[in-house]
Homo-oligomer: A and B are copies of this chain.
Amino acid sequence: MSERGERTPGASVTLLDVAKAAGVSLATASRALNGSTRRVRPDLQERVLAAAEALHYSANAQAQAMARGRTNIVGLVLSDVADPYFSSIAAGAIRAAEEEHLVVTMACTFGREERELDYLAALRGQRARAVIIVGSRVQNRELLDRLAAEVRAFEQAGGRIAFVSQRKIPADTVVVENRGGARALAEALCGLGHRRFAVLAGRADLLTARDRTAGFREGVTRAGGRIDPGDVVYGGFTRDGGYEAMNELLDRGTEATCVFAVNDVMAVGAMAALRHRGVALPSEMAVAGFDDIATLRDVTPALTTVRLPLEELGTAAVEMVLAEPADQPRVRRVRGEVVLRESTPPLQAPRA
């Protein structure tokens, strides 16, 4: 086709090709394309740019990374993209990262928290500039220690790291005030007249679930309400977990007038269970969740919840890893906002 003839398939245009085409040296081509402290004569620069365009040149990112000694990769490790909680945070992080021309690499643990370790090691191998780990820490000292070691290794290799989770590892962290949010929710619900509560508490080893449960308990106690021990049901942190836990609660029997599910997805599962069992919603049982998942804002009755600025969590984490490193790990606290909706109407009179 051209005087250079056919390229072998798989071979791509290199900077040297561009330089030759422009009739300049490789160094000049590099300077013309990337800028540099050194200046390039305008006419040469133009020739290089034109040649790159004509050859459809795209710099080899690996080679650049190697030559420069750093990358534009930011790793995002989370539990499950299909979960709206995580996908919202991911969207925020991706949006922020793309603005900074960073390449986002995503990995999902799908509930197997120990895989965070593998991904972090892999991202160290990638020489990722930064990593953001999103998701509840679990009650597991050994895992935590190993993760802390891996985090140190990553930072020692020059990478930045931030968590969106509990602050259990000495690193920059965006902390959601789960406890405070749940407490405020409980107090608001008591304000509506409820006194007896049940809790669908999710996975017992997830700190997020534990914190929300504990906070709710605090709020209820503080406001003079009550949670019977049998009215706390553990289970999955998922829709099905909520469904099953609600069924179990109904099987056990309860005096509660309001049930708090530790996240919205579970709350929706619980509402489904109530409906299937013929319990009138919300008159016979009020339901509240946590997160304010956008996709679930149209369920009926509209779900009382604690609104979290999910996308902001992601962007905040990106900001942290991009900021100048501080002496001490930073913590950015994010609070939720109680949103009372139809699923928890004011309790008119005590149960008949």
Chain A: residues with CB nearer than 8 A to chain B?
7, 9-12, 56, 58-63, 65-66, 69, 71, 76, 80-82, 84, 87-88, 90-91, 94-95, 98, 103-108, 110, 121-122, 124-127, 153, 156-158, 239, 265, 268-269, 271-272, 275, 293-296, 298-300, 311
Contact = CB atoms under 8 A, between A and B. Distances in A.
Given A127-B61, A300-B300, A103 B91 contact: no
B300 A275 contact: yes
Contact of A298 (B81, B95, B122, B268): B268
22 contacts: A9-B158, A10-B69, A10-B157, A58-B125, A60-B127, A61-B127, A62-B71, A62-B126, A62-B127, A66-B66, A81-B91, A82-B87, A82-B88, A82-B311, A87-B87, A91-B108, A95-B108, A103-B126, A105-B105, A106-B106, A275-B300, A295-B296
Given A81-B90, A272-B298, 7 more contacts: A11-B158, A56-B153, A62-B63, A81-B91, A84-B87, A87-B87, A265-B295
A148 to B, nearest CB: 13
Contacts of A11: 158
A311 B108 CA distance: 14
A108 B127 contact: no
A298 B298 contact: no
A93 to B, nearest CB: 9
Contacts of A110: 95
Nearest 6 pairs of A and B residues by beta carbon: A10-B158, A82-B91, A87-B87, A12-B157, A58-B125, A62-B65
Nearest to A106: B106
A293 B80 CA distance: 16
A239 B298 contact: yes
Contacts of A66: 60, 62-63, 66
Contacts of A127: 12, 60-62
Contacts of A295: 84, 239, 265, 268, 293, 295-296
B81 A81 contact: yes
A106 B104 contact: yes
Contacts of A63: 62, 66
B81 A87 contact: yes
A326 to B, nearest CB: 15
A337 to B, nearest CB: 19
